[in-house]
Structure 1
Amino acid sequence: MDALHHIDVRLLGYALLVLAGVASSLLARRFGAPLLLVFLVIGMLLGVDGIGGIRFSDTRLTFLIGSVALCVILFDGGLRTRADAVRGSVTPSIVLATVGVLITAALTAVASHYLLDLNLLQSLLLGTVVASTDAAAVFFLIRAGGLHLEKRTGSTLELESGANDPMAIFLTTAITVWIAGTEAQTYLGLLWSIVLAIGAGVVLGYLGGRVIVWALNRYDLPAGLHPWLAIASALTLFALTNLVGGSGYLAVYIAGVLVANRPVRARSDVMSVQDAATWFAQLVMFLLLGLLATPHDLLKILWPALGISAFLMLVARPVAVFACLMPFKYRLGEIGFIAWVGLRGAVGIFLASIPLLAKLPNAWMYFNVAFVVVLTSLVVQGWTLPRAAHFFGIAVPRKDPDTRRVQLDLPGQLEYELLGYRVAPGCRALNPVHWPLNVRLLMVVRDGKIQSAEESGGVQVQDYAYLLAPSASAQRLDWMFVGNESTDAQGSRFGELVLPGDVELGTLAEFYDLHVPARFRKFTAANLFAERFDDMPQIGDHLGIGPATLTVRATKDDRVSEVGLRLLSLGERLISGANA
């Protein structure tokens, strides 16, 4: 009975931890705090120096759980990467995720050598541990803050954050093995190992992604099992790729990208469960890493670690980003924001557990320095991310649509889904002109009664409309059902001057004496909105060009067909500070 009582107590403790994680995520969203920081703090409070007093030092278990958690997180990152959204950013992102990691690691190694008196390999190991950004932390903060970034900037961050982890993980493992002396290693051998890991990761990731797509579409499983088939397949791919010497992390990310861009059965179910699995993986991983930390040991290396953190944020990362993105003609504002948003997260602390697992000399010092670097990054960079986006002119002035969507997969085919929306006052869906040609109204629920599309005569305010639409159209259709009661296309906020969407910005600049950067002068207004708003401009979207504001008045086939131009007063110019 005592054993059963002990089990019940432990189960109660685990359940309370999950509930604490749910509550902390709500608080993090409310106050803009980085979720990773909250979970780490909870873990530290439960640890040896906290109120929990738990003595936890099992690095092998931490590494195992961390590996599984990172596999789930990177697979989720791949599932959210749409090829049409990142096209044009692939090459610079890959350069930043590979060459950028090497530059960041090398520069940070220099600071580590002088601040901690480490030799060359030890310094390089520490630099590599903290070199990669954390995809989960970056995009949680962006979503939590309601930020919308310029298309190229957002896609570059998305790809880099997902692709740089495998590079950093492999380098950390290789240098750890080299220092430990468990395998004979040369510079050429290390280079070959990197090539093999990347090559095998890419090939097996592509093949594994194709197999996952085939399995999801081939087997008619009971409801709710498709998401678990996807996750279990990703974990299998991860383990198999590691066994043959490839990068399992790179493989699962590529597999996720492939699944995201192919028609698959039960996509909405897969994404829903993946959201929950990723959140839980972060929770468990961050709590364990917090438990593993010993705050009184952190104080012993606090000042050198803070120096390394400051050097990483203010020198190493900016230099690496500038060197990697300038050849691709990124603007200084884009480079500045990408440099500042290089948050360090759980990946850095997880990598620091690899030297612990190998029992290297100074292994706990690597872990403690990485922990301080991550905490500093989350506090300084995490809380300033929204301000940085506006300061560098990267934030796009738009709020998320307030629509609630019902989404159902249709068995027997993969191209279309059934989508349901409430018809809000003033939404664009009330006008049949705005309906895409590949979207069909199936039925309407009006006053509690079901009517076919023919019987309803079209949608009306307060209806519930159910549509047949392509799987990739849901995000665009969200904007059609946004309530906009106050929108008046003739109102002053839409501009005093009405212009066609294909008007060239260079022509506007000359006629109205506006400042338009040289790279935008050949753009039409429609092209500018398409670039800044990720190819989904909506009525009411606006952008500043010098002392004027362009506002979308009408769209056709997802492109801006009409804009309004409004010249700002001196006071408005000082407040907005907007530039194209």
Structure 2
Amino acid sequence: MEDGTLLLVVGALLAGGIVVSQLGDRLRVPGLVLVLGLGMALGSDGLGLIHFDDYGLARTVGIIALALILFEGGLAAGLPEIRPVLRPALALALVGTTLTAVLAGLAASWLLDLSLLEGMLLGSILAATDGAAIFAILRGSTLRRRVARTLEGEAGLNDPVAVLLVIGFGSWITTPGYGPADMAVSFVVELGVGAVAGLAIGALGAALLRHVPLTTPGLYPVASMALGAIAFGAGDALHGSGFLSIYLAGLVLGGTQLAQLEAMATFHDGLAWVAQLVMFLVLGLLVFPGDLPGVGVQGTVLALLAAVVARPLATVVATTGSGFALREQAVLGWAGLRGAVPVVLATFPVLAGVPRSEEFFAIAFFAVLVSTVLQGTTFEALARRLGVTTGQAALPERPAAPVAPPVPVASRA
């Protein structure tokens, strides 16, 4: 494909993604789900306009996109906003995600006649919530501020936990001698190293941006992008969680008093939207719709069990003692939207050579579609019915950065 043609195709795909995502907002359907549908329609098993079956490239695109989305989520929130709800957010991310994975895994093992480890692997894939979908819903919601901030914090902290669970159970299946002790050590080390790297690099980068002025305002978004890339890369290179590292770096930078913070946040908001659209389109292209009817019943039942049973039960356990009323816990439980993240995670076992992994991919994709449409279209209505909404936006707009008054020009004598 010639360079001009390639740019034309990329531009057309992004424009199509924007159109269908806006259409989704009008139809009260999560717009990014329609972007997935657009990718499926254009792929080999749809109109056949684009042939794509590269799981490795899809995983790479997904990892980069998720990193950009998590950095933007942290930058938009800021550590001072998340700190008051850090305890329940961490509990949901650690305890809630793990318990959801176990309950969904037991259901998958029974429903699909899988081994216990295979069921846990599939349950871990489905336990991941999607930061992009949750951030999008919260920014158009009137949910109570503390509940919304808890969900926002969990959305950023949940992905690293789900990634480690998927990699751990995949290694347990494919690597002789690998066991629960190895998985537990890896879990602690990766989260610990990722947390230290993210906080340290975020603090150092924020200090440099605060004390070392750049020659032009246009360099500040570039500097913040470099900070995010360094945080993810350093966390990963040190055998930690790059996802946790980049999210925490974003949180630290977002809580820093910088006149250029608004410009950086706006830049990364646009960059995150590009990442979301590209990721959802690529994952849609990777799916062959003809494979879905064969797993439709199992995927639907598994999605319902994960959304209606596993996630709500895990939420109650994780948030007990955190000061949430039962109706707030119900909303937190129903807000575990699945999206592109479980689909990206479903590529991991395929590339690791786990038996039946392509079947897991189709099941996970179908379950994600059912879960996202069901929960995404009813979340706000449920919150209103339970009285967990207010008359104000759940996540207020960041105040504009102060503009310095013009310096008067001395008049000539």
Classify the TM-score, shorter chain.
Answer: over 0.9
Residue 396 of structure 1 deviates from its aligned partner by 0.6
The answer to whether structure 1 residue 201 and structure 2 residue 194 are counterparts is yes
> SS state of the match for residue 89, structure 1?
helix
Higher relative contact order (CA 8 A, sep 6+): 2
State the partner residue of 1:185. Answer: 178
Q: Distance in 1 between matches of 2:202 and 2:310?
A: 35
In terms of mean alpha carbon deviation, does 277-286 or 396-405 score higher?
A: 396-405
CA distance 1:400–1:376, shift in 2 (3 Å): closer
The answer to whether structure 1 residue 63 and structure 2 residue 53 are counterparts is no
Residue 47 of structure 1 deviates from its aligned partner by 0.8
Q: Which string of whole-angstrom CA distances, capped at 9 and with x for unpartnered residues, describes residues 475-495 of structure 1?
A: xxxxxxxxxxxxxxxxxxxxx
State the partner residue of 2:297. Answer: 303
State the partner residue of 1:155. Answer: 149
Listed as ranges, the gaps of 5+ residues in structure 2 are 409-413
State the partner residue of 1:367. Answer: 361
CA distance 1:84–1:283, shift in 2 (3 Å): same
The answer to whether structure 1 residue 277 and structure 2 residue 271 are counterparts is yes
Count how many residue pairs are aligned between Structure 1 and Structure 2.
Answer: 406
State the partner residue of 2:160. Answer: 166
- The answer to whether the 8 A contact 1:216-1:265 is kept is no
The answer to whether structure 1 residue 114 and structure 2 residue 107 are counterparts is no
> SS state of the match for residue 398, structure 1?
coil
Q: Distance in 2 between matches of 1:403 and 1:329?
A: 26
State the partner residue of 1:142. Answer: 138
- The answer to whether the 8 A contact 1:104-1:127 is kept is yes
Residue 119 of structure 1 deviates from its aligned partner by 0.3
Q: Equivalent residues in 2 for 1:4-153 (5 A)? A: 6-143=2-139, 146-153=140-147
Q: Distance in 1 between matches of 2:21 and 2:327?
A: 31
State the partner residue of 1:418. Answer: 403
- The answer to whether the 8 A contact 1:79-1:260 is kept is yes
| Richer in helix (by share) | 2
| Richer in strand (by share) | 1
Listed as ranges, the gaps of 5+ residues in structure 1 are 409-416, 420-441, 444-449, 451-580
Residue 262 of structure 1 deviates from its aligned partner by 1.4
Q: Counterpart of 2:392 in structure 1: which amino acid? A: R
State the partner residue of 1:320. Answer: 314
CA distance 1:120–1:170, shift in 2 (3 Å): same
- The answer to whether the 8 A contact 1:32-1:141 is kept is no
Q: Counterpart of 2:150 in structure 1: which amino acid? A: T
Matching residue within 350, 355, 359 for 1:356:
350
> SS state of the match for residue 361, structure 1?
coil
In terms of mean alpha carbon deviation, does 192-201 or 87-96 score higher?
A: 87-96
Q: Distance in 1 between matches of 2:114 and 2:148?
A: 37
Residue 268 of structure 1 deviates from its aligned partner by 1.4
Q: Distance in 2 between matches of 1:141 and 1:401?
A: 10
> SS state of the match for residue 403, structure 2?
strand
The structure whose Rg is larger is 1
Q: Distance in 1 between matches of 2:32 and 2:242?
A: 23
Matching residue within 188, 212, 216 for 2:209:
216
If the length of structure 2 is used for normalisation, what is the TM-score?
Answer: 0.93
If the length of structure 1 is used for normalisation, what is the TM-score?
Answer: 0.67
Q: Distance in 1 between matches of 2:36 and 2:282?
A: 8
Matching residue within 238, 252, 262 for 2:256:
262
- The answer to whether the 8 A contact 1:85-1:151 is kept is no
Residue 399 of structure 1 deviates from its aligned partner by 6.3
Q: Counterpart of 2:182 in structure 1: which amino acid? A: G
CA distance 1:50–1:356, shift in 2 (3 Å): same
Q: Distance in 2 between matches of 1:98 and 1:279?
A: 27
CA distance 1:402–1:351, shift in 2 (3 Å): closer
Q: Which string of whole-angstrom CA distances, capped at 9 and with x for unpartnered residues, describes residues 134-160 of structure 1?
A: 1210121232xx422212211111111
- The answer to whether the 8 A contact 1:68-1:235 is kept is no
